[in-house]
A = this chain, B = another copy of it.
Amino acid sequence: MNTGVSLADVSAAAARIRGAVMRTPLLYSEMLSRQLGCELWFKCENLQYIGAFKARGACNAVLQLTDEEARSGVVTHSSGNHAAAVARAAVMRGIQAHIVMPHNSATVKLNAVRALGVTPILCEPNAAAREAMAADVMHRTGATMIHPYNDLRVISGQGTVALEILEDLPEVDVIVAPVGGGGLLSGTLVASKGIKPSIHVDAAEPLLANDAARSLKSGQIEQNDRFDTIADGLRTPLGTLTFPIIRDLVREVVVVSEQAIVEATRTIFRTVRVVTEPSGAVSFAAIQQNPERYRGQKVVAVISGGNLDLNILNDATTS
């Protein structure tokens, strides 16, 4: 099966982005292992530069541009961590970044781009407006589009998360990763199954944005019809490049409630003592809600990001 991305691509990405991204820690939780009856580690991509795994794929894409391409800059549209990731990668390479963001993006995400010295290009908050604005920028500037997940360079970059997990813990039985557009999940699948075919990879997603679970059932890419899960990073549908990889290699998509996501965010805060955004906690929510599924096994939950707006969490728990 040719997935379009190979273990060799992920290994090449790892060599390419070394030094440009953080080799994040894999933290063992003694307390949660005892409570849940498994051996549980957290791969802390929330501690990554810009606070999310997105730094990896964006660096891998931007570093592959030819000098000629690079001269025209890069463009992307994102309401989330991919925006800051592309801005950072462009600043590091010294090229122009055009970052299209919906005007109602979370303040923490807008500020992350601004902190890098890049002014976001604001647009109306819908897919059509985002794409039109990005297309317009491409047209005017010749900038290269860096899609948040439906891009082979991005998928290969995100897969380096799994390479590091398997370097640090070759005996891992199961990796649980959140799924939104599927860049992290498909990269993780290619890398981890490539190194260790016996490994299991579960995906985790919110019940309110269960498009991945439905896509696996129907055999085609399904859309979400609501966009209100607190896990704002996981509202996107799968891509044409990520879907076939996930369909062929994932063990199961575990679906979790909003309350489980909030509880997982708080448990990680209190017990692992790292800050996770709700999207980042969905993988652990899947484990916390289904301990019997992982009992006695060596399990790694990927915390995908840590850009938390505390107000959102407070609202969610008091309402």
On A, residues with C-beta under 8 Å from B are 22, 25, 27-28, 30-31, 46-47, 49, 51, 108, 115, 269-270, 272-276, 306-308
Contact = CB atoms under 8 A, between A and B. Distances in A.
Contact of A275 (B22, B27, B115, B274): B274
Nearest to A52: B273
A47 B51 CA distance: 17
Nearest 5 A/B pairs, CB to CB: A273-B306, A25-B25, A273-B275, A30-B49, A46-B273
Contacts of A308: 273
A31 B276 CA distance: 18
A41 B306 CA distance: 18
B115 A273 contact: no
21 contacts: A22-B27, A22-B28, A25-B25, A25-B27, A25-B47, A27-B47, A30-B49, A31-B49, A31-B115, A47-B272, A47-B273, A51-B273, A108-B270, A269-B275, A270-B275, A273-B275, A273-B306, A273-B307, A273-B308, A274-B274, A274-B275
A148 to B, nearest CB: 20
Contacts of A270: 108, 275
A49 B51 CA distance: 23
Contacts of A275: 269-270, 273-275
A84 to B, nearest CB: 10
Contacts of A273: 46-47, 51, 274-276, 306-308
Contacts of A51: 273
Nearest to A268: B275
Contacts of A307: 273
Nearest to A46: B273
